[in-house]
Amino acid sequence: MRYRKVQEVGKGTLIISLPKAWARRYGVKKGSIIAVNETAQGQLILEPVEVGGREEGPLHVVIECDRKTPQQLEWDIIGAYLLGYDAIELASRERMSSEVKTAIRRAVRSLAGLEIVDEDSKHVLINCLVDPAAVAPKRLLVRKNAITISMHSDAVAALVNGDRALAELVVDRDEEVDRLYFLLVRLLRTAIRDPKLAKRFSLSPVDCLDFRMAAKLIESIGDHAVDMALLVGKLPRGSNLGALSEEISEAENSLRELQDTAIRAFLARREQLVDQVKGILEARFLRALEAIEGTAERLGSLSPLAFSLASLMNEIAKCCIDIVDLVIPAGLEIGLKSS
């Protein structure tokens, strides 16, 4: 944080000095043109016209592999990806072990848009092929939401029918949710640094923070869906929760509507939808959950699994409530500023 004292020159013209290091880094000198943009929160963003917003920092990073474990390198790659680097180079003074190469490939597979473009025994070059301007965060959030809804719906179906193959598909789908989460975080970080990109996405810095929180909550929903699917493996062979099919179906339908409406409320910033989620829809789901728990007591050895299912469904509902809590009522920020 740098502070500059406002001075007055001429007939009421206010000026401040620019940080010398910043001016030198971006080639700003006498006669340079500076674009001045005002945000909705009243902040002024200065940008040299000759330099694009994304050129703010180095887009190429070199990660030294020596004396690092495979897990450390994996996290280094993920960190560089989230920081917005387009080229990630891994270098070692000695031949990379097979464990290191495996960790590098595992990290690349887990991150959308990464490809290994050059490699030898001591060097690996990874490029990110995703154009941040071509992928809107809102689309990614909607996609993540749709996947997680299908995940817990299939997990419920797997439990009702004792379908182990369907349960395994639910677990496999969680990898796609993770990839979308990391890509979304990368885009949000880039948008915070690049005012032009943020404007294209119609996102303020506060919006970026809310989007990341919403994305994390949706990822938690996916994790709960995986835990639901894993309950299928605890069913005795040939058994299922079919005796609760009617109650579970009612609860799952309510949960799907609750989650879908929560995301629509978040994206549209509609208070009416927030009230609907935290009113009618939540109450309907909780009634359906009570029906599951009431009947589960009569299932004997399967009762613990039924109660576990109900608990996980309730955790998903809590995530949905947390998502709508991110919605700021229209005009509230303006009202706070004017007061």
- The residue ranges of every structural domain in the chain are 7-55, 56-128, 134-333
Average of pLDDT values for 112-118? Answer: 91
Average of pLDDT values for 303-323? Answer: 96
What does the pLDDT read at residue 41?
63
Average of pLDDT values for 16-44? Answer: 76
pLDDT of 55 above 60: no
pLDDT digit string, tens, across residues 27-40: 788 777 777 777 66
Average of pLDDT values for 207-234? Answer: 95
CATH homologous superfamily of domain 134-333? Answer: Phosphate transport system protein phou homolog 2; domain 2 (1.20.58.220)
pLDDT of 295 above 80: yes
Report residue 242 as tokens. Answer: 């079919």
Q: Is 167 exposed, middle or buried (0-12, 13-18, 19+ CB in 10 A)?
A: buried
Whether 293 contacts 310, CB under 8 Å: yes
What does the pLDDT read at residue 299?
86
What does the pLDDT read at residue 64?
93
CATH homologous superfamily of domain 56-128? Answer: Alba-like domain (3.30.110.20)
pTM above 0.85, yes or no: no
User: Measured in whole angstroms, how far is the alpha carbon of residue 288 from the centre of its chain?
Assistant: 30
Strand ranges (E), the chain: 7-9, 13-15, 34-38, 44-48, 60-64, 87-91, 114-120, 123-128
Buried b (16+ CB within 10 A) or exposed e, 204-213: beebbebbbe
What does the pLDDT read at residue 212?
94
pLDDT of 330 above 60: no
- Taking the C-alpha atoms of residue 214 and residue 180, their distance in angstroms, rounded to an integer, is 13
- Taking the C-alpha atoms of residue 259 and residue 148, their distance in angstroms, rounded to an integer, is 10
